[in-house]
Amino acid sequence: MDLLKNSFKAKADKIGAEIKEMLKEHGNKKIGEVTLSQAYQGMRGITGLVTETSLLDAKEGIRFRGYTIPELQVKLPKAPGGAEPLPEGLFHLMLLDELPTEQDVNHITSVWQRRSHVPKHVFDTIEAIPIKTHPMTQFVIAIMALQTESSFAKRYAAGMSKKDYWEASLEDTMDLIARLPRVAAYIYRRKYKNGDHIQPNGLLDWSGNFAHMMGYDSEEFKELMRLYMTIHADHEGGNVSAHATHLVGSALSDPYLAFAAGMNGLAGPLHGLANQEVIKWIYEMQEKLGTDLPSKEQIAQYVQDTITGGKVVPGYGHAVLRKTDPRFTAQMEFGKKHMPDDKLCQTIWNIYEVVPPILQSLGKIKNPWPNVDAHSGALLVQFGMVEYEFYTVLFGVSRSLGVLASLCWDRALSFPLERPKSVTTDSVKSWLEGKGEIWGD
Ligand code: HAX
């Protein structure tokens, strides 16, 4: 861990000095303008955040520290005999901006294994929640229960100096990431497997152990988890889970508090919950039509009915992307390799042919293409994980890698409290009538 800390500190000091110089010379340069529509319509297209770990290109998709998903599938170390990247390697890349060696990845695996102990009161807290509670709500409550363990909170209360915030954040980040699979697996086994819990296997990698604790021990499922945990980890800084984590962290709320905020955002159906909505929507379609392999014509009619009913087609559209999400493509490739004849995957691929032209024909949708959530459920169902309300928890465990690595950078670069300006419609009207400035007096 000391090696990781020293490398991070050296990198952060270097980038911090560069930013200082850059701002001295170019701090007043404009990087955009804000229109009235943007202020009213979800701040789309406003560049107002710095997030180091990844960058989203609207036409190309996500790059993690410059690398696309197909590049990561080649360049990141794999488990012995495996073909998918280990998310430990992606975390190393996002945190340190360096491709990891196998040794680096083994080091992170062993640090997370050593730090994975979950205190008993966290399990007691989960047990006190009604079992019918949505798994994402249970997950957030469990993260809040874990907050007793925050080094950042303890050290801040004891008078920690600003210059140590990054270190306490990194400590919490490593502890929290290490513990999340155990907490998530506990919630899964409690809700869906009669509380028949499975002990961790200290010889497995982070994702392999997570799969094992949930009760899925095939190598194929472990490979799926490695891929899943890698591709869901980060999507630059403006999405709801990343932005919420960053925003709450900017108040110097510790990483547990900040991450719980991000997970509350991920639990929304326009964001991470879309992965459960996709499978729910397909099951409802199958039931309505009385078939597990609806034709393209039947799918088209069902899509039209969904839109006419004032609902969105889950898994399609994106606030930034303007093409098929490469995270969808990576999962489609996994499906074609491991389960080419599966009817549910076939349905996902038929939907992919049918939906974009229909959405495009509405004339108002900026991106008619599938996003990450359009495919993930079908792969999980194939392995017997049919409890779709749990899917967003898997997404959340993965998202910890990106948003917590970013939070370490936020503190290392001394990013201040985030506090944009808001206006009222009355102040906008007065401004449009030429009576004073939009920001009031
Ligand atoms: N089905 C039907 N209508 C859709 C749609 C879809 N999949 N996607 C967008 N639209 C509609 C919007 O609701 C909006 O309609 P109104 O003008 O009547 O309000 C219009 O098309 C324009 O929307 P947009 O500008 O193209 O899209 P936004 O940036 O506003 O929203 C969303 C992006 C992802 C929220 C949107 O596409 C959506 O609701 N998709 C379905 C839910 C989903 O899959 N969410 C997951 C997104 C990826 C992610 O974060 N994963 O975690």
Which band of pLDDT confidence, cut at 50, 70 and 90, is reported for residue 339?
very high
Task: Report the alpha-carbon distance of residue 339 to residue 296 in Å, rounded.
Answer: 20
* Binding site membership of 371 for ligand 1 (Cβ less than 6 Å): yes
> Where do the CATH 1.10.580.10 domains begin and end in the chain?
1-15+43-272+388-415
* pLDDT at position 418: 98
- Among candidates 131, 106, 108, which has minimal Cα distance to 5? 108
Marked catalytic residue, from 318, 325, 375, 410? 318
243 in active site: no
Output the residue whose Cα is nearest ligand 1's atom 18. Answer: 364
DSSP string of 414-439? T----------HHHHHHHHTTSS-TT
Output the residue whose Cα is nearest ligand 1's atom 3. Answer: 312
* Binding site membership of 207 for ligand 1 (Cβ less than 6 Å): no
Task: Report the alpha-carbon distance of residue 297 to residue 86 in Å, rounded.
Answer: 40
Q: Judge contact between 399 and 409, C-beta under 8 A.
A: no
Tell me: pLDDT of 439 over 90: no
Task: Report the alpha-carbon distance of residue 290 to residue 72 in Å, rounded.
Answer: 41
Q: What is the pLDDT of residues 340-351, one digit of tens each?
A: 999 999 999 999
DSSP string of 119-171? -HHHHHHHHHS-TTS-HHHHHHHHHHHHGGG-HHHHHHHTT--GGGHHHHHHH
The best mutation among 234, 299, 365, 403 to test binding of ligand 1, ranked by most ligand atoms within 8 Å of the C-beta, falls on: 365
> Where do the CATH 1.10.230.10 domains begin and end in the chain?
274-387
Which band of pLDDT confidence, cut at 50, 70 and 90, is reported for residue 440?
low
What is the separation of C-alpha 440 from the centre of its chain, rounded to a whole number of angstroms?
37
The best mutation among 41, 62, 316 to test binding of ligand 1, ranked by most ligand atoms within 8 Å of the C-beta, falls on: 316
Task: Report the alpha-carbon distance of residue 274 to residue 210 in Å, rounded.
Answer: 22
Task: Report the alpha-carbon distance of residue 312 to residue 411 in Å, rounded.
Answer: 38
121 in active site: no
Marked catalytic residue, from 254, 373, 375, 410? 373
- Among candidates 241, 224, 261, 419, which has minimal Cα distance to 335? 224
* pLDDT at position 1: 81
Task: Report the alpha-carbon distance of residue 334 to residue 385 in Å, rounded.
Answer: 16
pLDDT > 70: percent of the chain:
99
Q: Judge contact between 146 and 124, C-beta under 8 A.
A: no
Q: What is the pLDDT of residues 243-291, one digit of tens each?
A: 999 999 999 999 999 999 999 999 999 999 999 999 999 999 999 999 9
Task: Report the alpha-carbon distance of residue 39 to residue 46 in Å, rounded.
Answer: 9
pTM of the model: 0.97
Instruction: Calculate how far, in angstroms, residue 192's C-alpha sits from the geometric centre of ligand 1.
Output: 31
271 in active site: yes
For domain 1-15+43-272+388-415, the CATH superfamily is Citrate Synthase, domain 1 (1.10.580.10)
Burial grade of 384 (CB within 10 A; 0-12, 13-18, 19 or more): exposed
> Which class does domain 274-387 fall in?
mainly alpha
**φ and ψ at residue 63, rounded to 5 degrees:** -125, 130
Q: How does the average pLDDT of the chain come out, rounded?
A: 97
* Binding site membership of 373 for ligand 1 (Cβ less than 6 Å): yes
* pLDDT at position 438: 73
The best mutation among 136, 312, 322 to test binding of ligand 1, ranked by most ligand atoms within 8 Å of the C-beta, falls on: 312
Task: Report the alpha-carbon distance of residue 226 to residue 240 in Å, rounded.
Answer: 23
